[in-house]
Structure 1
Amino acid sequence: MENLAMHISNGIINGPVAALFAVIALVAMALAVHRGRQDLDDRLAPMAGLVAAFIFAVQMLNFPIFTAGVSGHLLGGALAAMLVGPWVGALCIAVVLVVQALVFGDGGVAMLGLSITNMGVIAVAVAYLLIALLLRVLPRTPAGLAVTAFVAALVSVVVAAMGFVLQYWLGGTADLGGNLAGLAGTMAVSHLFIGIGEGLITATTVVTVAKVRPDLVYALRARKPVSPASVPAVGGVR
Structure 2
Amino acid sequence: MHIPDGFLDPKTILLCYGISVGWIAVALKRTKGKLGEKMVPLMGVMGAFIFAAQMFNFPIAGGTSGHLLGSFLAALLLGVWEGSTVMAAVVIIQCLVFQDGGLLSLGANLLNIAILGAISGLWIVKLSSLTSLSKKMFLFACGTGAWLSVVVPAAACAGELGLSGVAPWKTTLVAMTVIHALIGVVEAIITILIIVVIDKIRPDLLRISATTS
Q: What's the TM-score, normalizing by structure 1?
A: 0.80
Identical-residue share of aligned pairs (%): 34
Deviation at 1:182, TM superposition (A): 2.6
Counterpart Cα distance in 1 of 2:210 and 2:127:
15
Is contact 1:47-1:216 (8 Å) kept? no
| Residue matched to 1:170 | 163
Is contact 2:79-2:207 (8 Å) kept? yes
Deviation at 1:63, TM superposition (A): 6.6
Ranges in structure 1 where 5+ consecutive residues have no aligned partner = 1-5, 224-238
SS at match of 2:211: helix
Amino acid across the alignment from 2:30 = R
| Residue matched to 1:46 | 41
Counterpart Cα distance in 2 of 1:215 and 1:76:
19
Counterpart Cα distance in 2 of 1:151 and 1:66:
21
| Residue matched to 2:129 | 135
Q: Does 1:123 align with 2:117?
A: yes
Distance 1:58 1:92, change over 3 A: same
Deviation at 1:66, TM superposition (A): 11
Is contact 1:158-1:195 (8 Å) kept? yes
Give the alignment partner of residue 190 of structure 1, picking from 179, 186, 199: 179
Is contact 2:83-2:118 (8 Å) kept? yes
CA RMSD of aligned residues (A): 2.5
Is contact 1:161-1:187 (8 Å) kept? yes
Is contact 1:150-1:200 (8 Å) kept? yes
Amino acid across the alignment from 1:161 = A
SS at match of 1:222: coil
Distance 1:152 1:163, change over 3 A: same
| Residue matched to 1:236 | none
Is contact 1:131-1:149 (8 Å) kept? yes
Is contact 2:94-2:100 (8 Å) kept? yes
Give the alignment partner of residue 189 of structure 2, picking from 197, 200, 205: 200
Counterpart Cα distance in 2 of 1:75 and 1:218:
19
| Residue matched to 1:233 | none
Distance 1:144 1:211, change over 3 A: farther
Is contact 1:62-1:73 (8 Å) kept? yes
Q: Does 1:57 align with 2:52?
A: yes
Distance 1:86 1:14, change over 3 A: same
Q: What's the TM-score, normalizing by structure 2?
A: 0.89
Give the alignment partner of residue 203 of structure 2, picking from 214, 218, 222: 214
Q: Does 1:74 align with 2:68?
A: yes
Deviation at 1:58, TM superposition (A): 2.5
Ranges in structure 2 where 5+ consecutive residues have no aligned partner = none
**Pairs aligned (count):** 212
| Residue matched to 2:30 | 35
Distance 1:113 1:63, change over 3 A: farther
SS at match of 2:36: coil
Amino acid across the alignment from 2:131 = V
Deviation at 1:73, TM superposition (A): 3.9
Is contact 2:75-2:83 (8 Å) kept? yes
Amino acid across the alignment from 1:89 = G
